[in-house]
Amino acid sequence: MGLLMLAIDAFVLVSSLSIFLAIRDHRRRGGLPFPPGPRPLPLVGNLFDIPKEFSWLTYSQLSRIHGTNHSLVKRLVTTGMAGDVLSFHIFGQVIVILNSVKATKDLLERRGEIYSDRPTFTIHEMYVVLT
């Protein structure tokens, strides 16, 4: 009886921890999914998937495997075409790789204000208003 209670307690603890982490991750991302990428390992993430040499070749190969084409019809029609955006998870940080000029211009030039994390300096804003 004691062994069964210990197993139930361990199950409840593990499931509570996994639910807590899933809810925290969901809130942190705002509910939006990350771009596709290789499946991360539990603690280190995709640390071993990041290339040390010839990174552009590895990223283009990974984009063919984990591209943005999700449906079976798109995969059959666009076989061999690379996806534009990949993501890697390393120690809780997300690294986004942009594989095309089109995706880079779209995300960084057209929608750059959305993704910019630069802090605002109120002193600078006050100085600009006064001058």
The pLDDT value given to residue 79: 42
Q: Domain locations in the chain?
A: 1-32, 35-130
Percent of the chain with pLDDT over 70: 70
What's the rounded mean pLDDT across residues 43-65? 86
**Any idea which of 77-86, 88-97, 115-124 has the lowest mean pLDDT?**
77-86
pTM over 0.85: no
Q: What is the pLDDT of residues 90-121, one digit of tens each?
A: 887 888 888 888 888 888 888 877 766 666 66
Q: For the stretch 90-115, what's the b/e string if a residue is b when 16 or more beta carbons lie within 10 angstroms of its beta carbon?
A: eeeebeebbbeeebeeebeeeeeeee
